[in-house]
A and B are shown apart, each in its own frame.
Chain A
Amino acid sequence: MIPGSTPLAETAAKTSRRRHLLDFEGWSRDDVLALLDTTDVMAQVMQRTIKKVPALQGFTIGTLFFEDSTRTRLSFERAARAQSADVISFAAGGSSLSKGESLKDTLRTIDALQADLYVVRHQAAGAPHQIARWTDALVVNAGDGRRAHPTQALLDAYTFRARFEGFDGFAGKRLAIVGDVMHSRVARSNVALWTLLGAEVVLCGPRTLLPAELGQARGVTLTHRVDEALEGAHAVMALRLQHERMTRGLLPSLAEYRQRYQVTRKRMRAAHAGALVMHPGPINRDIELEGALADAPYSVIEAQVANGVPVRMAILYTLLVGSR
């Protein structure tokens, strides 16, 4: 604390706790809402002329991207530098990991650089958990396999809260997620987060891309009919359709997918008044989403991208400050 300065002493919110963001396991509704409030402050910083604060001066953040994702990595690095943290980037593509070095040995090498927090993207579900077991640093999951992408879900929820007209809490809200749910970490994390916040989630897609087991969670329903999914939804999220799904026999053709599952202006009429259209990006225009819809006034896809940085700033701040 600043010695003897009473106002600051009273603002101390919670006791120090070493905490990762691997998924939403162990995160309460209040934790998440506090994170969204902190995001508001960070968004304010990013609207100023000088988009930088000294908060994380002296902290070092390592981005470990075993799976390439320039967009997500840049977003995290911007979030770190906007708070004056030092950033070490590690792209695993060309490293010795591809020559069969174990994840643990790779981490041991990187750990010598003494980062306080790692941002981990990996093609294998659970790799951030493994890394969290092997390092003293904090770990933020930036996407692991099909499993989780918690910062994306947080920025989706934040965008909805900021942009839904007359937002009065997540309880009673309905999020429809349409598309390739099976392979989507974004879908899994949004299911976890929105149900934690008290909203309902409807998952929609063809049976080949919609595992029945995901419908067993509380607050989640499944449907194979897009009109049913959009009925009364406050937010509609279309998922990116990977082209290789066609070759693996999961879908007959793009044309058929479009016809049955594309989120269109016409289909959006069934949604709740003021419903927002979201997409985790990058968009296949006119495949999962009618092209014109991406530019509609109720589309918040650009806001999602813009909110990525303040959400990640809030996460880095929340995890790092008070962790030592």
Chain B
Amino acid sequence: MPTPDTLPHGGDAPVPRTVVRGAHLIDAHGDHGLHDLWLRDGRIEGLDLDGAAELEVDASGLLVTPAFIDPHVHLRVPGQEEKEDLASGLGAAVAGGYATVISMANTDPVVDDPAIVRALREGAARLGLARLRPAAALSVGLRGERLADYAALRAAGAVMITDDGIPVADSHLQRRACEYARELGLVIQTHSEDPTLRSDGVMHEGRVSQALGLPGNPAEAESIMVFRDCEIARMTGARVHIAHVSSERGLRVVEWFKEQGTNVTCEVTPHHLTLTDAAWERFDPVFKVAPPLREASDVEALRDGARRAVVDCIGTDHAPHTRAEKDRDALAAPFGLPNIEVAFPLLYTELVLSGELELATLLGLLQGGPARVMGWPEPTLEPGASADVVLLDLERERPVEPATFTSKARFSPWEGRLLRGWPQATLVAGRMAFRRASGAPG
């Protein structure tokens, strides 16, 4: 059995030596201008080399940069393949410019068994789309009672421990999980919402929820739990990552702990950066997410946090469901929306083109940010780095068309929105994993 680090991505066939011509190269070290980027054996070979390429990719007019890392996706495997499967979810990831994703453990059965972790990694490696690094459950069956076997799960390839989807109500269990994970070097990710305070809320509690008569979930349900989780991180010294911070108060708590030197990181999602609770006006459960879409002041605070590096990275929380599930009423419909295919164009258009965020900052939140959270090497275009590269078209405007999604969840809160910055191709470990059809509308 291959060990976690030696599974060949995309099978055993030789990786073609590839040249990406006329590329405008940008990475964490800066803007390198126009070059030919050479890839060999799954690694970056160098710039402007000579010799024969087995594959030529024309990148004229495109920005070429390390492909993205998503610390937070739901692939629904095993057990909920009607929502998403490995091919559709990892296909959606590369279509969104991601080379590596971390999948959540709230599946059926739950990812609390090393065999499931192994099956996920092997299945993903065979596909050769985005690279999959599974997270495993914090508690057996996500029941919040007993710790899962972290050492065995790590040995099978799990890189993160989380009960995401279900907040850990028991503070004692959270403490023990952090203590145990620390010595194994695993990242603990938390879905920080106080389950008793969020109660039966389906949207943010505020003026809009009171007017619409929908049960609310106050921002304090988040900030209280963020505080607890940061406090336990400080207490235990564990590497704790706060998932999908959605509120100004929640983010302030994280910032306060960072100022104290606590080793805590956090992510924000594309939807919390771009949508507010006002979206509920038409009672469309597409906008039902956990934590909920907040108010304009929260969106502003999250954007400000992204600018000031209080936010460490973007995590999409891509959470596919079937259309039929989202066509239920506001109380019965499930939480979550698909977004990994539109994440970069959305954030580029709404934040960078609007002048609110530097392109380099956004790229950092998608590349070096998540890598640092996970303790992985920073993705760059330097020779020897993994040949995970995305080609972005920053010019051409194209509407969000859910019908063309690779994800099985073919609906979107941004349907019809005109965006720029669409990934044209994504290479993972030197192989072409995604290439936008040339006849694509736009």
Partners in one complex: yes
A102 to B211, CA, bound (A): 25
B308 sits at the interface (CB 8 A): no
Q: How far is the CA of A104 from the CA of B324 in the complex (A)?
A: 8
Map CB proximity to A onto B321-337 as digits: 1 under 8 Å, 0 otherwise.
00011011111100000
B328 and A102 contact, CB distance less than 8 A: yes
- Indicate if the CB atoms of B331 and A123 lie closer than 8 Å: yes
Given contacts A104-B324, A105-B324, contact A126 B329 (CB under 8 A): yes
The yes or no answer to B351 lying at the interface (CB within 8 A) is no
Q: Of A125, A147, A213, which contacts B207 at CB under 8 A?
A: A213
Using an 8 Å CB-CB cutoff, how does the interface string of B175-195 with A read, 1 for contact, 0 for none? 000000000000000000000
Chain B residues within an 8 Å CB radius of A123: 329, 331
B212 touches which of A66, A104, A105, A126 (Cβ 8 Å): A126
Query: Chain B: which residue is nearest A146 at the CB level?
Result: B213
Contact check, B325 vs A147: say whether CB atoms are below 8 A apart.
Answer: no
Partner of B213, one of A130, A133, A185, A216: A185
Cα A125 to Cα B211 with chains together (Å): 10
Provide the A72-93 mask, 1 if CB < 8 A to any CB of B, else 0: 0000000000000000000000
Interface SS majority for chain A: mixed
Alpha-carbon distance between A120 and B123 when the two chains are bound, in angstroms: 47
- Which of chain A's residues have a CB closer than 8 A to the CB of B325? 102
Asked whether A232 is an interface residue with its Cβ less than 8 Å from the other chain, the reply is no
- List chain A residues, Cβ under 8 A from B171: none
Query: Using a Cβ–Cβ cut-off of 8 Å, how many residues does chain A contribute to the interface with B?
Result: 27
What is the CA–CA distance of A187 and B437 in the complex, to the nearest angstrom?
A: 55
Closest to A149 in B: B213
CB distance from A210 to the nearest CB of B (A): 10
Q: Which residues from A are CB-within-8-Å of B212? A: 125-126, 147
Q: A125-B283, A130-B283 are in contact. Are A145 and B213 (CB under 8 A)?
A: yes
Q: Do B214 and A126 touch (CB < 8 A)?
A: yes
User: CA separation between A213 and B295, bound complex, in Å?
Assistant: 14
- Closest CB of chain B to A22's CB: distance in Å? 10
| B331 / chain A contacts, CB cutoff of 8 Å | 123-124, 145
Contact call A125/B324, Cβ cutoff below 8 A: no
- Nearest chain-B residue to A217 (Cβ)? B211
Does the CB pair A129–B210 fall under 8 Å?
no
Q: Is the CB of B210 within 8 A of A214?
A: yes
Are A129 and B214 also in contact (CB < 8 A) when A102-B328, A103-B327, A216-B207 are? no
Q: Is B206 an interface residue (CB 8 A)?
A: yes
B424 to chain A, nearest CB (A): 35
A211: CB under 8 A from chain B? yes
Q: Which residues of A have CB within 8 Å of B210? A: 182, 211, 213-214
Q: Does B29 touch A at the CB level, under 8 Å? A: no
Chain A 147-186: CB-based contact to B (< 8 A → 1; otherwise 0)? 1100000000000000000000000000000000010010
With A124-B329, A147-B214, A214-B210 already in contact, the answer to whether A129 and B324 are too (CB < 8 A) is no
User: Contact at B283–A129, with CB atoms within 8 Å?
Assistant: yes
Contact assessment for B213 and A129 in the assembled complex, using a CB-CB cutoff below 8 Å: no
Is the Cβ of A188 less than 8 Å from the Cβ of B213? yes
User: Are A213 and B213 neighbours in the complex by a CB distance under 8 Å?
Assistant: no
User: Within the assembled complex, what's the spacing in Å between the Cα atoms of A50 and B210?
Assistant: 44
Chain A CB count within 10 A is highest, among B206, B214, B327, for: B327
**Does the CB pair B324–A145 fall under 8 Å?**
no
Distance in angstroms from B320 CB to nearest chain A CB is 16
User: Among A123, A126, A147, A216, which residue has the most Cβ atoms of chain B within 10 A?
Assistant: A126
In this assembly, does A144 line the interface, its C-beta being within 8 Å of a C-beta of chain B? yes
Docked Cα-Cα span, A236 to B211, in Å, equals: 22
Interface 1/0s, chain A 100-144, versus B by CB < 8 A?
A: 011111000000000000000011111101100100000000001
Q: Complex formed: what's the CA distance from A124 to B284 in Å? A: 12
Assembly CA distance A126 to B207 (angstroms): 16
Q: Point out the residues of chain B lying under 8 angstroms from A105, CB to CB.
A: 324, 327
- Nearest-neighbor residue (CB-CB) of B214 within chain A: A125
Distance A105 CA – B207 CA, assembled complex (angstroms): 32
A125 surroundings in chain B (CB, below 8 A): 212-214, 283, 330
- Separation of A65 and B16 alpha carbons in the complex (Å): 63
Asked if B211 and A213 make an inter-chain contact with CB atoms under 8 angstroms apart, the answer reads yes
Q: Would you call B211 and A126 a contact (CB within 8 A)?
A: no
Distance in Å: Cβ of B197 to nearest Cβ of chain A: 12
Which residues of A are found within 8 Å of B283, using beta-carbon distances? 125-127, 129-130
- Residues of chain B within 8 A of A144, CB atoms compared: 213
Q: How far is the CA of A105 from the CA of B328 in the complex (A)?
A: 9
Report B-chain residues with C-beta under 8 Å of the C-beta of A126.
212, 214, 280, 282-283, 329-330
Give the distance in Å from the alpha carbon of A300 to the alpha carbon of B212 in the complex: 29
CB-defined contacts of A145 to chain B, threshold 8 Å: 213-214, 330-331
Q: How far is the CA of A182 from the CA of B213 in the complex (A)?
A: 8
Which residues of chain A have C-beta atoms less than 8 A from B328's C-beta? 102-103
Docked pose: A211 CA to B213 CA in angstroms: 11
Contact of B206 among A122, A146, A185, A213 (CB under 8 A): A213
Looking at the complex, which one of B207, B324, B330 makes contact with A127 (CB distance below 8 Å)?
A: B330
Residue of A nearest to B331 (CB): A124
A142 to chain B, nearest CB (A): 15
Q: What are 8 A-B contacts with C-beta separation under 8 Å?
A: A66-B329, A102-B325, A130-B327, A130-B329, A133-B282, A146-B214, A182-B210, A211-B210
Given contacts A126-B282, A185-B213, A214-B211, 14 further A-B contacts (CB under 8 A): A102-B328, A122-B329, A123-B329, A124-B330, A125-B212, A125-B283, A126-B329, A129-B282, A130-B327, A145-B213, A146-B213, A188-B211, A213-B210, A216-B207
Chain B residues in the interface with A (C-beta under 8 A): 206-207, 210-215, 280, 282-284, 324-325, 327-332
**A-B pairs with lowest CB-CB distance, top 10:** A126-B283, A147-B213, A124-B329, A146-B213, A104-B327, A213-B210, A102-B327, A124-B331, A125-B213, A102-B324
